[in-house]
Structure 1
Amino acid sequence: VFNLGQYLCTAQNSFGSDRMVITLAVQTEAPKIQAPKSTEIAVYFGKSVTLDCLASGKPPAQISWILPDRTFVRDYKCIASNAAGADTITYHLHVAALPPSISEGAMDTLGESAKLSCHATGQPTPKIMWISPRNYVISLSSDKFQVMDDGMLLVKKVILADEGKYACVARNSAGDDVKNIKLEAELQEPFINGMKGRSTTKVLAVSYQTALLDCRVEGKPEPRVWWVTPYGHSLPTPYLGGRFQVHRNGSLELRGVRKTDEGGYMCLAKNNLGEASLVVELDVASIAEKPIFAVPNIEILPIKQDGGELILECPARGKPNPEFAWVLPNGTMLKPGVRLQRFTHHLAKGTLHISHPVASDKGVYRCLAKNVAGQAEKRYALESGRKPVIRGSTGMFFHLKLIKQKSP
């Protein structure tokens, strides 16, 4: 408390006295808190926020805060006070975040495709990601999957291998939520190596080596699979006896192949919707020789841009006769009989024809020759053709000195 007014100061001793009047005037100013732009503050869960409390006053105001209780809407009160008075301001802090919550998830069919929906609430709006049954994150778009803007997962052309539990993950700054959605393919009759009904194929084996006859079966319910040998013996899945073994994946392994093992081996698959069969004609070669090339395995050729045709040969020998494939400089593989723009792999002798060659066709072309005994490779390096250039010193004169021989 300050006493305002005049004060008399007196000084006295044996020789006399003196006095002086002093006037006391105290200047004070009540605190005033600077008004903020807004006292309604929204902040995301887990983020930082600053609340200002700037106050004037004489003497300088003392600042104190009253913190809130644990309510969702939080009030923060600032008090600025001095001897002349006090001022207050209250901030209302709204924590704008709610952890994600997946309300529902469902699967629906769309022709050959399937839709997996996943609806989630939360603040801020949760982001949706999907994890496949094999535990890898599904990209936004691919040949098999597409994640839509609303988080729905589209599985294209569903096959039995796509079945399983897909995890929908909803995530924001406040947390995440997960829901598993099961994808089931429709009932299917048996397929063998991607074919239904009856199919045939040929396999060439080498004497005293191992032959593996593939029988990859799909179907729902899971089909029963068994093999029938050329002698009429039935081999279930799985089976192990003598030189024969039927693996759980349906393939038949025959060890120490003999010439007498030649013939038709039938793989059968059956469920309550139907059946499929595959006949594998097994041929056994008594002697096998790896493919070889008689000429160098790499040749460098110029590209003649004359509007004609460039033919690259693949003269490989082997027993049995090799199968050929060409690999273009960009990595594209051409099987026999396949044509790609100006490039044609002819069935006969494994030749590659390039019609109307141009300079941009330069690069390394690889011919692959393969049989049961192994594989060989021949390469052609095509380079842009250039006119001939004589290399050597320019402007050099050669003097030829003629020496006349004396006659004997």
Structure 2
Amino acid sequence: MASAQKILITGFVLFTLIEIAVCQRSPTISYISQEQIKDIGGTVELVCSVQYSQEYPVLWMKNDPANTNTIPISTLSTLILQDSRFALRFDRASSTYTLQIKDIQETDAGTYYCQVLISVNSKITADVVLQVRKPPVISDNSTRSVVVSEGESVQLECFAGGYPTPKITWRRENNAILPTGGTIYRSNILEIKSVKKEDRGTYYCVAENGVGQGSRRNIAVEVEFAPVVTVPRPRLGQALQYDMDLECHIEAYPPPAITWVKNGVVLSNNQHYYISHFATADEFTDSTIRVVTIEKRQYGEYVCKASNKLGSEEGRVELFESIIPICPPACGQAKYGDAATISTSTVAILATISMLIYRNFNAQH
């Protein structure tokens, strides 16, 4: 009987000790939501379950990336933040605190903390990261345009923000071949080594991350290069007292200074010559000199010279005397000087005779 009583007393003491130990157990966070990835305008629920926290305040907080501080959102079952998009639910049975955010904005992204305050210097914390999908936005520190001299190297840079992290690709206008080869290049930096004039044009930096339509920036690449002069007709004939146009085509950037020279003398507009330049693009110019009412001394070699800061080049055109007027530009023009005016029909007849003589000469040889 005494033994049974002893066992009973021992059991009571153990039960009391266990009860005291349970009552003194520290609070713990038994569950916190995993990382959440949501679209702008969507809804998210962040869940935090806490055990043995009846006597301790439980808070939801959010970090503030601007100043690395945290902002309190709620305490226990009370919402502190005055924002209609936020709501808090508390399930007493499971001691679960659910923070709901509706109409998610970009600024809602960040780290949310579920925190139990045990004392002034003691707390337990668990966190969950909320990522908000954002379409790509190309950064201001990306290249906008560049001017480089032929033979130099250049780097085109493109950076973009957004979530998920955008991928950057490069293309050229009209899907032209890139200097790196192929029509697409994937990297934040496109490096062109030893630039050629053919590399000039518009390059597209495209940022995509699957959210929205992506973002694109046009980058103009201007290549400075020395003039390249071509002459479409190096030898031209024309009869005395008729006009003739001499032409040269110039490719250069920056646009060059263009002069026509004969016998070392720079020609200008006067009663004997008329010079015109026509820019077909930033780097292409057509230059024409019209020799007006040709005299004997105007036959000979003409030099078309183009110069810019990177160099110069010239092309040569020989004007020689022909018996029959060449059409154009002779057709329909009046003969200058003291001679009588020749009609269009007369010039056409002369041109036909000239062609027949040419064919007969070729047939005999």
TM-score of the aligned structures, taking structure 1 as reference length: 0.38
Higher relative contact order (CA 8 A, sep 6+): 2
> Which structure shows the higher helix fraction?
2
Higher-strand-fraction structure: 1
Q: So what's the TM-score if we normalise by structure 2?
A: 0.41
